[in-house]
Amino acid sequence: MYKQPWRLVQNRIRGNGGREIDKFRGIEPPVDDNSGSESWVGSDTRVAIPPEGKPNYGCAEVIRPDGERMFLFEAIAQAPEQMLGSTHLAKNGQSLGVLIKFLDAQFQYSLQCHPTRPCAKALWDSDYGKEESWYVLGTRDDTAEPAYILLGFKEGVTPEAWAEAYRAEDIKKLESMCHKVYIQPGDVFFVGGGVPHAVGEGCFVIEVQEPSDITVSVYTAPVRHRMKGWPEPTEEYIKVYDERFMNAFVFDACSEEENLRRWKIAPSLLRSGDGWREEIMIGPAQTEYFSFTRLTVENGAAPLRNTGFMQVAIVVDGEGTLNYEGGSLPLKKADELFFPYGLASASVSGSVTVILCHPEGVTY
C-alpha cells in the first residue's frame, strides 16, 4: 500500500469564487459561488478560524489504495515512517512541512503579509512562518483590467508612512504603496516572509508555501469587524493586532526592476531525457522551507526522481500514465496525488505536465 500513489479528494473551501477551479477540473457548469475560491491540496493544515462544527476545515482527504477514505493526517498517523520516511520525521515530525493550494481570485484578495519564522515564533508561538510562492495557471478573461498581483513595497515607502495609512484605515493608500505586476500563465513568483502582497482580480494560481494559515491583513481589526458585522473588538485585541501588524511587515522597499528581480522567478533545468524535462520552479535559491518542480513529458517516459521524501503532485495539463512497481495509474488534467515516501522506481509516460511539491529537506 505504501509503495503506490494515493488519490487525493478534491475540495473547495472558504471565500466566494471558484469558477476557474471548476473549469480546470472539467466541472460543468463552472460557477462562482460560496463553496470556496480556494482548494487545499494534500493538506494537513487547518484554517486559522474554522467554521463551527468543522475542526479539520482545510485538511485534505485521501483515498487509500484499498479504497478507504480518510483525512491525510489520519493516514499519516497510522504509519508515519512508511508515509513520510525517517529523514522527514526527524525534520518535520508528522507534519507534511508544506501546504499546496489553488487560489481563484474572482475579486482581489486583501493586501497582506505573512511572518518570517522568527517573527511567527515570537508573536504567534508558531514553528512555521509563511513564505509562499505562486505558479500562474491561468487568468480570467472577463475582468475590468488584466490579471495582476500586488507584490513588494515601492521605492521610498517607510514604516512611518505605512503606519500612518494603517491607523487612518486608508486601504487604497496602503495598496498604492505596493508594486502592481501584470501576470501571464506560466509566471512564477516567490513571496518572502514579511513582503506585502495580494492576489489580484482574475488570477488563478497554484500556491506552494509553508504549512501555516497566519495572515496579517491591511483590513485592520476595527475594519475587519465592521465589514463582517462582528461586535467591536476589545482594546486588548486591537493592541495585539497592531503589534503583529507593525512587526510582521519587512520594510525593504525597492524599484520596480529590482522588485521583479527579487520575486519573479525563472525556471531552471534540473534534469532531462529523451522527450521529457524536469525544471525547478521554486528551490533552494529562494527558500529552504519547500520547493516544487515541473515535470513535462512530451513523448517519452520520465523516471520519477526519488527525493527521499513524500511528494504531492498535481497534473496541470495533458494525459498520461504513472507506472510503478506492481501497477499503473492513468493520469489526466486536474488529478491530485499523494506519493508516499516508499513509492520508488516509478515513471510518467504520455503527453502530460505535472507539478511536484516537496517539503523542507529535499536536495537538488
Q: Which helix (H) or strand (E) holds 328?
A: strand 327-332
pLDDT above 70 covers a percentage of the chain that reads 100
Three-state DSSP class for residue 226 = helix
| Burial status of residue 236 (CB atoms within 10 A of its CB: 0-12, 13-18, 19 or more) | exposed
Mark 67-92 as b/e (b = at least 16 C-beta within 10 Å). Answer: eeeebbbebbeeebeebbbeebbeeb
Per-residue b/e over 271-305, b at no fewer than 16 CB within 10 Å?
eeeeebbbbbbbbeebbebbbbbbbbbeeebbebb
The DSSP secondary structure of 7-72, one letter per residue, reads EEPP--BSSSB-HHHHHHHT-SS---BTT-SEEEES-----SSPPTT-TTTTPPEEE-TTS-EEEH
Q: Which three cell numbers stand for residue 251?
A: 520594510
Please, are residues 352 and 335 in contact by the beta-carbon 8 Å criterion? no
Residues 237-257 have pLDDT tens digits of 888 888 998 899 999 999 999
Which residue blocks in the chain are alpha helix, DSSP H? 19-25, 72-78, 80-84, 86-92, 117-124, 159-167, 171-176, 221-228, 235-248, 256-263
Domains, the chain, in order of start with CATH, read 98-263 (2.60.120.10), 268-359 (2.60.120.10)
pLDDT at 266: 98
pTM of the model: 0.95
Mean pLDDT for back-to-back runs of 10 residues, the chain (364 residues): 96 94 97 95 93 95 95 97 95 95 96 96 94 98 96 97 93 97 98 97 97 91 76 86 92 97 98 97 97 96 95 98 96 98 93 97 91
pLDDT of residue 201: 95
Supply the pLDDT for residue 153: 98
